[in-house]
Amino acid sequence: MFSSESRARPWTREASAAEHKKWVEVFKACDEDNKGYLSREDFKVAVVMLFGYKPSQVETNSVMSSVTSGTSGLPLQEFLNIIRKKKEAQIFRNEIRHIFTAFDRHYRGYLTLEDFEKAFELVAPKLPKRVVIEVFREVDQDSDGHVSFKDFEYAMNYGQNEAELL
């Protein structure tokens, strides 16, 4: 599902031909009466088919509010763009989980300063220990000496958002 490429997150990702074909097929299957667009309910069904969960009302409202004015629903091209972005986010979250699991050497479900030190020792051996400690303290949001996956994910997303601003 995710690659072992050295980059943390692709800026854009082209869907494979098979993925694109599947997304178009799902769109067509959910486009009742061949209207050329998906209604709110059609969109919800499509997300269930592709991702296995029913989108929240907030998510559905967000998507439907982005629909170009003058159309009655979500046309194919906009649907494909939304699905591609959702897939990228899913892949990025899986990559974060993979990195967290690699850091969690003792399978405790949280990271300690020792886990950080060992990981940085392997990937950045010349990085000063004080920098590793500063990073750990920054990621350890509640200062309990443990970095949960939620803390780790937040830090990774924060770093990604900062990089996108540059």
Which contiguous run of DSSP H or E holds residue 89?
helix 76-103
State the pTM of this model: 0.64
List the domains of the chain with CATH numbers: 17-88 (1.10.238.10), 104-165 (1.10.238.10)
Which contiguous run of DSSP H or E holds residue 150?
helix 149-165
Residue 104 CB contacts under 8 Å (≥ 6 apart), including other chains: 110, 111, 115
Looking at every residue in the chain, the average pLDDT score rounds to: 84
What confidence tens digit (pLDDT) does each residue in 97-123 have?
999 999 998 899 999 999 999 999 988
- pLDDT of residue 8 exceeding 50: no
Whole-angstrom Cα distance, residue 146 to residue 112? 5
Residue with tokens 């069904």: 45
Binning pLDDT at 50, 70 and 90, where does residue 77 land? very high
